[in-house]
Amino acid sequence: MPITNTPALTAENIRTVPKVLLHDHLDGGVRPVTLIELAEHTGYAELPSTHPAELARWFSEAAYSGSLERYLETFSHTVGVMQTRDALVRVASECVQDLAADGVVYAEVRFAPELHTEKGLDLDEVVQAVLDGFAAGTRAVAQAGHRIRVRALLTAMRHAARSREIADLAVKYRDQEVAGFDIAGAEAGFPPTRHLDAFEYLRRENAHFTIHAGEAFGLPSIWEALQWCGADRLGHGVRIIDDISLNFDGTANLGLLAAYVRDKRIPLEMAPTSNVQTGAAESIATHPIGLLKDLGFRVTVNTDNRLMSGCTMTSEMTALAEAFDYTWADLRWFTVNAMKSAFLPFDQRLAIIENVIKPGYAALLD
């Protein structure tokens, strides 16, 4: 074994390098303690436990369900307490602080405004509260001497019928750190084309959007998301693997859709632990991210839901490094991929790559 000074790829070391996160749900990343306190303040009586560690365990076990639908049921508890301005500001501010502590330098965090109106907030008030929370969190991080940029993605629920309204909001708040739009929720039975009018509107407005596709449903969902709706990125997109066959000599044949995704550099927002929990992948070690990276797809690493998956960017990257023997150069590649794929003006993306990411990995790549 060559003698090298390169630090080991431990969680402790990975936490210190710059990371970029494109797919993280605000209501999937609430701190257990905050959840308990908010439940108390708002009179929410349904929490499965009022002990932080026990509650955290409950979420990761319940989300380990093998089905997206059952995984999504756990969100009733987080959404249940995120119904007031104060609760939204607090959760959003803590989200920024938690990501910064994890070494994330740029993040796009998504939430569905329509899920937070049960106690009378309107959609604008929900968006404003979350943006105010992000700003407060960013200031707190700056006071502690760190820098992070967090932008919002507005999600519409695919089983509901408010996507056009949410798309309007995404355009309205585009100059206030709303980076784009997304659809989420149960995938089977709710194809992206149900929301075609929202996507067509966004395209006319030169706005950006990603679509959860190819997670609990396969190629037709990915095909619609790209070729009918015009998605800039795919949330997960794991099932693109169904359009790839491997030969005995290890070479791969790409079907037309997989070739399109690779050739057009469509970013795949992959979240390994979440994919194992919902049954979209069997294990981290066999996760399609390994093959897709080898084949040169534009893959990125994400958390999806830090509470439900009991994960962080650091833990996801550490698990991948272990499973696939990745080096610092591989982790930098994922990070640069993600930054290139961000819904942020090109010059600003380049500036973060050149001034933050590359210097952050430089010492490790010697």
Ligand X SMILES: O=c1[nH]cnc2c1ncn2[C@@H]1O[C@H](CO)[C@@H](O)[C@H]1O
Which residues in this chain contact ligand X in the complex, by CB under 6 A?
25, 27-28, 68, 72, 75, 79, 110-112, 115, 155, 184-185, 212, 215, 274, 304-305
Task: Tell me whether residue 98 or residue 330 sits nearer to ligand X (CB atom).
Answer: 98
Q: Is 243 near Zn ion (CB under 5 A)?
A: no
- Closest contact distance (angstroms) between CB of 3 and ligand X is 43
- Closest contact distance (angstroms) between CB of 275 and ligand X is 8
Annotated binding-site residue? 159: no
Annotated catalytic residue within 94, 108, 187, 215: 215
- Closest contact distance (angstroms) between CB of 28 and Zn ion is 7
Q: Is 269 near Zn ion (CB under 5 A)?
A: no
d(CA 216, CA 280): 6
Q: Is 108 near Zn ion (CB under 5 A)?
A: no
Task: Tell me whether residue 106 or residue 217 sits nearer to ligand X (CB atom).
Answer: 217
Q: Is 24 near Zn ion (CB under 5 A)?
A: no
- Closest contact distance (angstroms) between CB of 27 and ligand X is 5
Q: Is 27 near Zn ion (CB under 5 A)?
A: no
Annotated binding-site residue? 230: no
| Of the candidate residues 94, 102, 304, 316, the single one contacting Zn ion (CB under 5 A) | 304
In the residue annotation, 215 being an active-site residue is answered as: yes
Note the residues at the interface with Zn ion (CB under 5 A): 304
Binding-site sequence positions for substrate: 25, 27, 185
